[in-house]
Chain A
Amino acid sequence: MKPFRYERADDVSSAVTAVAEEPDAAFLAGGTNLVDLMRLEVATPEVLIDVRRLTSDRIEELPDGALRIGAAVPNSDLAADHRVRRRYPMLSQAILSGASGQLRNLATTGGNLLQRTRCAYFQNVTTPCNKRQPGSGCSALEGYQRDLAILGSSPACVATHPSDMAVALAALDAVVTVRGPGAERRIPVTELHRLPGDAPERDTVLERGELITGVELPPPPHLTASRYRKVRDRASFAFALVSVAAALDVADGTVRDVRIALGGVAHKPWRATAAETALRGAPATRESFRGAAAAELAPARPLPGNAFKVPLARNTIVSVLLELVQERR
């Protein structure tokens, strides 16, 4: 761990300026991921700008029924909020399936979105990694592949995004609000994270100095049945091999609307638009669910060590959708 400076900014704009102007500065919120990475010398900032007190830690209701979640809202508070639990149960379930109680108390909404991949080679400075050190090579591609991506990966990087919360937010059409050196901007969660391409060192579309100030959840869709199912190597405190966030509206045996997002399969939370398109207007049956899942997974390019994720994702999508159909009966 390298020595570093620690500073507190007075407001968002001075924090943004500080990070934008200093090349080796980083925002610090909950620190649950960043501090680990600093210990491992994966992250080596010269200065940490503490932003935890600068953004809202409240959840506000907007006139149209949307919720505005401050970036500093702890994961535990967001999961426990009664409006979230009632209207967006999959979001609460997703958050509670991640990390541990202690970590969720400390981790923030903004920080959760910006956590970095847990790829074992990214976290080990003695092995090459294009995300950590551009151009050094990808050790994961021919290494331990269990946790790697099956969709949207590139020869440069096959890492997955670790967040559960982000998967639910992607399914719910949430939007992040961002303040940077320029104007404030709004970015759909589905567009916040990038695919690795040939620049895997960039996890998101955020520019240097841009700070997430909040997340807006649009009014809940008329999809009363929703669920987050996380499949992993033990029952708690493990990252997803595959996770599914799904909401379903069925009338007269036909799918009226559906939202599906997948975790553990890509460099970003994976909104399953192909499956959604295939399902709208289709009969709410196992066969059409299987067909939709297959359509989504058709472009999957698994490696030998994670080929199981393709049938696992297919089965989990079908299982969750069938459960949602049964719940509505």
Chain B
Amino acid sequence: MSDVRARPHAIGSPLDRIDGAQKVTGTATYAFEWPVEHAVYLHPLQSTIAAGRITAVDTEAAEAEPGVLAVLTHLNAPSLTRPDDPELAVLQTDEVAWRGQFTGAVVAETLEAARAAAGLVRFAYAPREHDVVLRADRDDLQKPVHAAVFGMEAGELQDGSPADSMLGDVARALDSAQVRLDATYATPMYHNNPMEPHTAVVSWDDGALTVYCSTQGSSFSRTLIAGVLGLPPERVRVISPHVGGGFGSKVFPHSYAVLAAMAARTVRRPVKFALTRQQMFALVGYRPASIQRIRLGADGDGHLTAVSHEVAEQTAKAKGYADQVAVCTRMMYAAPNRRTTHRLAPLDIPVPTIMRAPGEGQGMFALESAMDEMALACGMDPVEFRIRNEPEVHPESGLPFSSRHLVACLREGARRAGWERRDPTPRARRDGRWLLGSGVAASTYPSPRLPGSSASIGVTPDGHHRVLIAAADLGTGAWTALTQIAADALEVPVEQVEVRIGDTALPPASVAGFSSGISSWGSAICAAAMRLREVLESDHGGTVPAQGLEVTADMPANPDEDRYAMHSFGAQFAEVRVDQDTGEVRVARLLGMFDVGRVINPKTVRSQLIGGMTQGMSMALYEHSVLDPRFGHVVNHDFAQYHIAANADVHAVEAHWVHERDPHTNAMGAKGAGEVGIVGTAAAIANAVYHATGIRVRELPITLDKLLF
């Protein structure tokens, strides 16, 4: 493995975003803004039943509207060559699998004409009784079979993990434990809600398809779009340099890109299609609701003897999906007897997807709330209780951690948060009508590399380096960080490096997701840089030839991948104020201390971490999608009703990190920083709310009605 750690030039410096000026001046081109000649516009039609069959369609009035070019439904839509993905196979049958599913599309000369005509199309249905309610006592809960499609090998959960794990004898250990906890926690359905809506601008040119798409992975989108349309991948080009947030919902291309491609083929014109906010609540995924039972047992010294985490999750009947909710419990704390399970309730609801620290986001709310409850039951400080149960190796696989500085995060975070002054008595401090409390929780997220990335680097005699990789920058700073990695790997100043991303004409890249981007793409870039320097030395005597030089390298395999458990960590401390009369919660301060390996760019990493913590706060207090059991739709499907933390909700948010490199993850010594910030925040806040009020809220979000007296 090459070692770029020896020459710290660009890595570690707070370089301004290279795409910053474009974004603040409005000149960065987002998907819908690509100029396409003679474009027409698409407005989709959506089912108004949750399950059943379409029995009749009346498109006459819509077709008669001026400017309307086509009305597509399952009756006249082109057949897809490989409709094997039930989410992507749009308009192929008369079956309706969830309310809000695509049933058609109107294509017109203007957006307004398309939208107006869409209101004139009439469907008749033969509805089936539908079922959208998750309960832990359902008798049809199923073990997930094959939910992993996220660039991993086939596995039962979406991250490739098995659904269940078992070690020792949990039941017996719980029976003989001196201290026991048995508590059930719940997280609601959440929607990703990036600011930029999902968009596809598509054009066909001589049988080849170009898609300007807002995506977290142009290469992955190309593979799936080409597959469902039956095209060889090289006939599809996906272009997506700027993405206005994804939060997981833009990893998969979903059905909208296929619908737009279908429409463009039908009318033989380029088609522009951006979803409305309301449409996004039915069509581009969400984090499924979970019900989580946690049982803990401990001995008289506060050592855990048993850990059990049983999960029930929503999924769609149309297409299975299973978040790895309890996988965090497999690696967080030492205990000889352990058990985790995942079960799914298949419902007549839209297809879930990955969202903002999928799995750990929900699971660590439950586990870290339970750890707080158990610390109190054991009469221990919550920080010390976690440290007492810190494992030496991965408690289930037995592998050593590539690096694990959770204890340092807890201790240093506690010092900065003023934890030693904390009186553990609940409901004992106030400031006027406000009850004050503080809480702690741990954070973790895996730090993997995903397969499938290559990078090319070209150099000209004047020393200009062009780095090409179809990576994605969701607004996170990846573009800038990759420039820094390339500069150090090439041993040149960042000014001599130009990185191009977000286009399948470039060498392929894995998706921006699973906190894997920098580790995967950076490793490919380091490999290409090393090859460039070798070739330059061996073939050209160290001098760039007049015509320039370009090399390509695949991301190298990591020989340590199967020898170490690789995870980021953190400790979050929350201070809350709760209005004694109204139950309103204000988060006065959030402090996170993180272990994310070597930090490539402290400015952008800090932004990612405090952004993650803000999303964690939003998850704790505000966000939830309300599914109406009678209709099967999300009732609060806009930004007025789906509450995301607004500026006025966010007070002091601090992110710090331990300055440690990981010796095994990648050549940079970095670990994932994209999602660990979200994880644990909700538990830290819930624990602080308990400390302030004496009320333990086990069901998110923590709304004021749960704290009213």
Chain A contact residues, CB within 8 Å of chain B: 1-3, 39-41, 118, 120-121, 124, 126-127, 139, 142-144, 231, 233-239, 241, 308, 311-312, 315-316, 318-319
Residues B360-406 near A (CB distance < 8 A): none
B705 in contact (CB, < 8 A): yes
Contact call B582/A231, Cβ cutoff below 8 A: yes
Which B residues touch A118, using CB under 8 A?
Answer: 640-641
Min distance, Cβ B370 to any Cβ of chain A, angstroms:
26
Contact call A312/B708, Cβ cutoff below 8 A: yes
Contact call A41/B119, Cβ cutoff below 8 A: yes
Contact call B641/A231, Cβ cutoff below 8 A: no
Q: How many residues of B contact A (CB 8 A)?
A: 35
The CA-CA distance from A235 to B618 in the complex, in Å, is: 12
Contact call A315/B582, Cβ cutoff below 8 A: yes
Contact call B640/A311, Cβ cutoff below 8 A: no
Min distance, Cβ B52 to any Cβ of chain A, angstroms:
15
The CA-CA distance from A118 to B630 in the complex, in Å, is: 20
Q: Which of B85-93, B212-220, B642-650 contacts A (4 or more CB under 8 A)?
A: B642-650
The CA-CA distance from A237 to B705 in the complex, in Å, is: 19
- Can you list 26 pairs linking A and B with CB atoms under 8 Å apart? A1-B119, A3-B116, A39-B115, A120-B635, A126-B631, A127-B628, A139-B630, A143-B630, A144-B626, A231-B584, A233-B704, A234-B621, A234-B645, A234-B648, A235-B648, A237-B640, A237-B648, A238-B643, A239-B640, A308-B708, A311-B709, A312-B582, A312-B705, A315-B581, A318-B581, A319-B581
B656 in contact (CB, < 8 A): no
Contact call B119/A2, Cβ cutoff below 8 A: yes
B496 in contact (CB, < 8 A): no
Interface 1/0 per residue, B683-707 and A, CB below 8 Å = 0000000000000000000011100
Known: A120-B636, A234-B621, A311-B709. A316 touches B649 (CB 8 A): no
Known: A1-B116, A2-B119. A235 touches B635 (CB 8 A): no
Q: Which residue of B lies closest to A126 (CB)?
A: B48
Known: A3-B112, A118-B640, A143-B635. A234 touches B622 (CB 8 A): yes
B433 in contact (CB, < 8 A): yes
Which A residues touch B237, using CB under 8 A?
Answer: none
B198 in contact (CB, < 8 A): no
B295 in contact (CB, < 8 A): no
Min distance, Cβ B305 to any Cβ of chain A, angstroms:
40
Contact call B630/A319, Cβ cutoff below 8 A: no
Contact call B116/A143, Cβ cutoff below 8 A: no
B342 in contact (CB, < 8 A): no
Which B residues touch A239, using CB under 8 A?
Answer: 640
Known: A234-B622, A315-B582. A120 touches B708 (CB 8 A): no
The CA-CA distance from A39 to B111 in the complex, in Å, is: 12
Total cross-chain contacts (CB, 8 A): 86
Chain B contact residues, CB within 8 Å of chain A: 48, 112, 115-116, 119, 278, 433, 581-584, 586, 621-622, 626, 628, 630-631, 633, 635-637, 640-641, 643, 645-649, 703-705, 708-709
Q: Tell me what chain B mostly uses at the interface: helix, strand, loop, or mixed.
A: loop
Contact call A127/B631, Cβ cutoff below 8 A: yes
Q: Which residue of B lies closest to A236 (CB)?
A: B648
* Further 15 A-B residue pairs, CB within 8 A, beyond A124-B633, A139-B630: A2-B119, A118-B640, A120-B635, A120-B641, A124-B635, A124-B637, A126-B48, A144-B636, A231-B584, A233-B622, A234-B643, A236-B649, A237-B640, A237-B646, A238-B640
Contact call A316/B646, Cβ cutoff below 8 A: no
Name the one of A3, A234, A308 contacting B705, with C-beta atoms under 8 angstroms: A308
Known: A144-B636, A311-B709. A2 touches B649 (CB 8 A): no
Contact call A234/B630, Cβ cutoff below 8 A: no
The CA-CA distance from A41 to B117 in the complex, in Å, is: 12
The CA-CA distance from A142 to B708 in the complex, in Å, is: 23
Which A residues touch B709, using CB under 8 A?
Answer: 311, 315
Contact call B647/A236, Cβ cutoff below 8 A: yes
Which A residues touch B704, using CB under 8 A?
Answer: 231, 233, 241, 308, 312
Most buried by B among A40, A233, A238: A233
Which A residues touch B581, using CB under 8 A?
Answer: 315-316, 318-319
Known: A3-B116, A118-B640. A144 touches B621 (CB 8 A): no
The CA-CA distance from A120 to B626 in the complex, in Å, is: 11
Q: Which residue of B lies closest to A231 (CB)?
A: B582
Min distance, Cβ B263 to any Cβ of chain A, angstroms:
20
The CA-CA distance from A120 to B705 in the complex, in Å, is: 20
The CA-CA distance from A6 to B637 in the complex, in Å, is: 29
Min distance, Cβ A313 to any Cβ of chain B, angstroms:
10
The CA-CA distance from A236 to B433 in the complex, in Å, is: 20
The CA-CA distance from A60 to B47 in the complex, in Å, is: 53
Which B residues touch A143, using CB under 8 A?
Answer: 628, 630, 635
